[in-house]
Amino acid sequence: MSLRYQINLRILFSSFCMLLLGGSIAIWHARNAVDKEINSSVDLAVQLISFGFSKDSQAPFNQNDWLLHLNALNQTKHLSIVLKEPSGEIINVVSKNLQSSTEDKPPRWFIQLVEGQHLKTEHKITRLGGKQLTLLIEANSLDEITEVWQESIGFFSAIGLLTLLTFLAVNLAFNKALQSIAVIVNALKIIEKGQYQQELPDFSIQEYDSIAKAINHMASELNTSRQENRALTQHSLEIQEDERERLSQELHDELGQSLTAIKVMAVTAERSRFAVSGASNDIKKSTDAIINVCDHLMKVVRSMMHQLHPLILSELGLKATLEDLLNNWALRYPELIISLNCPDEVDVLEHKIIIQVFRIIQECLTNIIRHAKAKQASICLEIVSLSETERALLLSVIDEGQGCSVEIIKSGFGLLGMRERINSLDGEMTIKTAPNQGMAIIVNIPLK
């Protein structure tokens, strides 16, 4: 759940609680206000009528006109007034239309919450002449409830507007903060891919600026450590290749020549055995055994020399070495067809790049034989110009084998070793594979 969603949800919940509490208080206040208004109107009407009918009977007084004027007062707008003789005869009825207009009529639920029980009330009025009249007053609070409803609509509208303004203010306030978080997250994703040169900008918010500076410092330290590890790895690989080259040369110069000499002497002994009196078949068997052992050892030495460091790589270059490598693989695995596309200009690359590229291709072919079960594979080397001053070596090794899942790739030490070699050259490796869809290894190595 996002931070923005959580904040808006909390604001909405708080606003709902405010509306619920404010609505309860408003209804309670409206109920009391309606009761007070009705009771005040009834008391006023009773007092005015009692005062009017207590006037001197000698004075000119028309009770019908007087009641009409009383009924016209705003304070009695909620009342229906009836005068009744002691005999029960209604001498005058002054009533209002107690039905409110349906246009502004409040909803029924609001009327039921606010409306009290306003029954008919009777009051005895005695005129100066001693004549008693009964005053019947019926209260209707619908007009007052309508006024309260309109006031409540204004109140709830204000609460709704305040909630909306709160939403807008909070979202505007958090927009900048959330944008800063997005910038930090995107930078961390870039750093996760190994691009430690990525730096976060300065932020106006102090807390985010502190986080950005801490991340920049961390990225700088990681970049320094990676450079040191690459230098160490490169140095280790160079020492390893130098040692392999030296061992290969020693095997070629010392052991190879010695085995050749032994074989020559064995052949010479075999040819001259007839000149020696008493020669037996044992000499023939011994010389044949020596020749066979020498042939076997010479094959082993050549294989070890090729695995340690192919001398052709230093003498003829990368292209010739790759062609020789593929010829050897074709003899050993004739069921696998491998195509090579390699320009001559790769032979002028730096020696450390040539060595690492050869080892990467060698590891790729080994993986194809061991795991891919492919019938066809292709190797492509290409030097491309990225700009006027930048070039790159592109290597792609593609097979049409069974492929595998990403989890298996991550657990393989061969691919991890290849990735380490490529990282030592500041290059990038991309692997595309899926079950039963083959595998493509694409390497991009920058050239100085």
Based on the domain organization, do 359 and 421 belong to the same domain? yes
- pLDDT (tens digit, 9 = 90+) per residue, 289-343? 777 777 777 777 777 766 666 777 778 889 998 998 899 888 888 999 999 999 9
In a domain, 102, yes or no: yes
Based on the domain organization, do 356 and 393 belong to the same domain? yes
User: How far is Cα 244 from Cα 255, in angstroms, rounded to an integer?
Assistant: 15
Predicted confidence (pLDDT) at residue 65 exceeds the cutoff of 70? no
Based on the domain organization, do 274 and 293 belong to the same domain? yes
pLDDT of res. 403: 84
pLDDT of res. 282: 63
Based on the domain organization, do 388 and 242 belong to the same domain? no
- Is residue 16 within a helix (H) or strand (E), and if so which, with residue range? helix 3-53
Based on the domain organization, do 273 and 365 belong to the same domain? no
Based on the domain organization, do 249 and 338 belong to the same domain? no
Of 49-63, 242-256, 367-381, 382-396, least confident by mean pLDDT is: 49-63
**Taking a C-beta distance cutoff of 8 angstroms, is the pair 51, 67 a contact?**
no
Burial 336-371 (b: 16+ CB within 10 A, else e): bebeeebeeebeebeeebbbbbbbbbbbbbebbbeb
Based on the domain organization, do 129 and 30 belong to the same domain? yes
Amino acid sitting at position 89: E
Based on the domain organization, do 85 and 225 belong to the same domain? no
Amino acid sitting at position 384: V
Cut 0.85: pTM above it: no
Based on the domain organization, do 410 and 380 belong to the same domain? yes
pLDDT of res. 5: 75
Of all residues in the chain, what percent carry a pLDDT higher than 70? Answer: 71
Tokens of 137: 């007053």
Cβ partners under 8 Å of residue 332, min gap 6: none
| CATH code assigned at 358 | 3.30.565.10
In a domain, 76, yes or no: yes
| Better-scored residue on pLDDT, 162 or 443 | 443
Which strands form 90-94's sheet, in the order they lie side by side? 90-94, 79-84, 132-139, 121-126
pLDDT of res. 193: 80
Between the alpha carbon of residue 91 and those of residues 7, 123, 357, the distances in Å are: 69, 15, 121
Q: Which of 294, 309, 324 corresponds to the end of one domain?
A: 309
In a domain, 146, yes or no: yes
- pLDDT (tens digit, 9 = 90+) per residue, 206-253? 888 888 889 888 888 888 887 777 777 777 777 777 777 777 776 666
Between the alpha carbon of residue 331 and those of residues 312, 327, 328, 334, 378, the distances in Å are: 18, 6, 5, 6, 17
Q: Which of 251, 283, 309 corresponds to the end of one domain?
A: 309
In a domain, 178, yes or no: no
| Better-scored residue on pLDDT, 100 or 421 | 421
pLDDT band at 382 (very low <50, low <70, confident <90, very high): very high
Give me the mean pLDDT over the 50-60 stretch. 53
pLDDT of res. 254: 66
Based on the domain organization, do 94 and 230 belong to the same domain? no
In a domain, 135, yes or no: yes
Range of the domain at 412: 315-448
**Taking a C-beta distance cutoff of 8 angstroms, is the pair 92, 63 a contact?**
yes
pLDDT of res. 15: 76
Predicted confidence (pLDDT) at residue 26 exceeds the cutoff of 50? yes
In a domain, 97, yes or no: yes
Unique residue bearing structure tokens 């997250």: 185
Give me the mean pLDDT over the 154-161 stretch. 80
Based on the domain organization, do 78 and 11 belong to the same domain? yes
pLDDT of res. 58: 45
pLDDT band at 392 (very low <50, low <70, confident <90, very high): very high
pLDDT band at 129 (very low <50, low <70, confident <90, very high): low
Q: Which of 309, 327, 351 corresponds to the end of one domain?
A: 309
Give me the mean pLDDT over the 51-71 stretch. 53
Based on the domain organization, do 16 and 72 belong to the same domain? yes
**Number of domains forming the structure of the chain:** 3
In a domain, 181, yes or no: no
In a domain, 243, yes or no: yes
DSSP 223-287: HHHHHHHHHHHHHHHHHHHHHHHHHHHHIIIIIHHHHHHHHHHHHHHHHTGGGSTT--HHHHHHH
Ranges 52-66, 117-131, 170-184, 330-344, most confident: 330-344
